[in-house]
Amino acid sequence: MRKPFVAGNWKMNTCADEAVALARAIADAAPKEGVDLAVCPPFVYLRSVAKALDGAWVALGAQNMYFEPAGAFTGDISGAMLKDVGCRYVILGHSERRHVFGESDELVGKKVIAALAAGLDPILCVGELIEEREAGKTMEVVERQVRAGLAGVGADGIGRITIAYEPVWAIGTGKTATPAQAQEVHAAIRALLATMYNETAAAAMRIQYGGSVKPQNAKELFSQTDIDGGLIGGASLKAESFIAIAEAAL
């Protein structure tokens, strides 16, 4: 039985005080068992959010990193730095990184390897554009992203990965994939993992859904066989809605 995992991706939102207040409010009221929880604030607030979460059940994650361990990479952040400030998770290959910042499948794969090497647990995001879905290419795109994202991950690392299926057309748009549409892709990802690794690894993998998850639709999405919680954007910026979504995963 997979334990659900709900993570909040705060994206480029909050100021210092809001970040700490939001983390505290979540830590105070979030369910303490039955679901794994994480919040992923902007880099500059990781340290203060880590302190705010101290001793809480809620884990800390970052939204991105670079694959090199150190050096002349102006403006970027290494996995070791994230580990150093208390991160357990790192979101990699988010659609905004792929489509706004032009990250390639290959780059995302390198980041996954580097994150594991730094002792972080990657949340690997995959998902198709609306044109790709309409052209019947959803699984082709998702398979390519999963294969490239996990290209350097062996049997020893696969248990530390979470996959987040986030159809790009559902992110921040208010349009959610229907539970059936999401379940279809989640099941296909799990079948793909069984061919890439083995049945046991595939059955153990947590696959989150992301894209306009709200308290109103979370329960139906999370009750699908292959949906193991969610990666939450907009609704993770209010403690009340994030907690309601976390409770929907129980």
Residues annotated as catalytic (active site), given as ranges: 94, 166
Q: What are the residue ranges of helices labelled H in 30-125?
A: 46-52, 79-84, 95-99, 105-117
Among 155, 172, 175, 216, binds ligand PGA (CB under 6 A): 172
Asked if residue 122 binds ligand PGA (CB under 6 A), the reply is no
- Among the listed ranges 59-67, 80-88, 126-134, 231-239, the one in contact with ligand PGA (CB under 6 A) is 231-239
Work out which of 41, 61, 93, 211 binds ligand PGA, going by CB under 6 A: 211
79 binds ligand PGA (CB under 6 A): no
Among 171, 182, 246, 248, binds ligand PGA (CB under 6 A): 171
Distance, in Å, from the CA atom of 75 to the CA atom of 114, rounded to the nearest integer, reads 18
Among 108, 112, 231, 248, binds ligand PGA (CB under 6 A): 231
Residue located via tokens 């193991």: 228
What sign for the dihedral angle of Cα 119, 206, 59, 9? positive
Q: Does 159 bind ligand PGA (CB under 6 A)?
A: no
Least distance CB 130 / ligand PGA (angstroms) = 14
Q: What is the separation, in whole angstroms, between the first and last Cα of the chain?
A: 13
Q: Does 61 bind ligand PGA (CB under 6 A)?
A: no
234 scored as a contact of ligand PGA (CB under 6 A): yes
Backbone angles phi, psi at 166, to 5 degrees: -130, 100
Local structure of residue 104 (DSSP, 8 states): -
Q: Is 149 in the site for ligand PGA (CB under 6 A)?
A: no
Number of residues that bind ligand PGA (CB under 6 A): 13
Q: Please, which residue, 19 or 126, has the CB nearer to ligand PGA? A: 126
Spatial CB neighbours of 71, under 8 Å, sequence gap ≥ 6: none
**Backbone CA torsion sign across 72, 76, 78, 81:** positive
Q: Measured between alpha carbons, how far is 9 from 214 in angstroms, rounded to an integer?
A: 13
Q: Among 232, 239, 245, 246, which residue interacts with ligand PGA (rule: CB under 6 A)? A: 232
By CB under 6 A, name the binding residues for ligand PGA: 9, 166, 171-172, 210-213, 231-235
